[in-house]
Amino acid sequence: MMKEIHKYYSITIVFIMICSLGSIHAQHTDARKILENVALFYKNTAQYQIDVTYNMHRGFTGNNITESYTGEMVKNGDFSKFKVLNSEIIYFSDDQLTISHTDKTIAYSKKTVTSVSSSPVEIEGFLKFYDQIAITEKNGQLKCEMVSSKYNPSNPYGKVIIYINKDKYYIEKQELFFAEAIPFVDEKNNERESDVGRLVILLKQKSLEDQTRVTLQDYFTFSSGKKVILSSKYSEYNFINQAN
Domains of the chain with CATH codes? 2-210 (2.50.20.10)
Q: Can you tell me the mean pLDDT for 233-243? A: 94
pLDDT tens-place string over residues 124-178: 566 778 888 889 999 999 999 989 888 888 788 899 999 999 999 999 999 999 9
Q: Are strands 105-110 and 238-241 parallel, antiparallel or unpaired?
A: parallel
pLDDT reading at 2 higher than 60: no
pLDDT reading at 34 higher than 60: yes
What residue type is assigned to position 18 of the chain?
A: I
Q: Which of 82, 60, 58, 81 is nearest to 68 (CA)?
A: 58
Greater pLDDT, 111 or 120: 111
For residue 16, what pLDDT is reported?
A: 37
Full-model pTM: 0.80
For residue 113, what pLDDT is reported?
A: 52
The count of residues in the chain is 244
Mean pLDDT over the full length of the chain: 82
**Any alpha helices (H) in 103-234, and if so which ranges?**
none
Phi first, then psi, for residue 12 (nearest 5°) are -60, -45
Per-residue pLDDT band at 185 (split at 50, 70, 90): confident
Q: Are strands 220-222 and 192-195 parallel, antiparallel or unpaired?
A: unpaired
For residue 118, what pLDDT is reported?
A: 44
Strands (E), the chain: 47-58, 65-76, 79-84, 87-91, 95-100, 105-110, 132-138, 141-147, 157-165, 171-178, 182-185, 192-195, 197-206, 220-222, 228-230, 238-241
Q: Can you tell me the mean pLDDT for 19-39? A: 63
For residue 121, what pLDDT is reported?
A: 52
pLDDT reading at 27 higher than 70: no
Distance in angstroms (rounded) separating the CA atoms of residues 24 and 49: 31
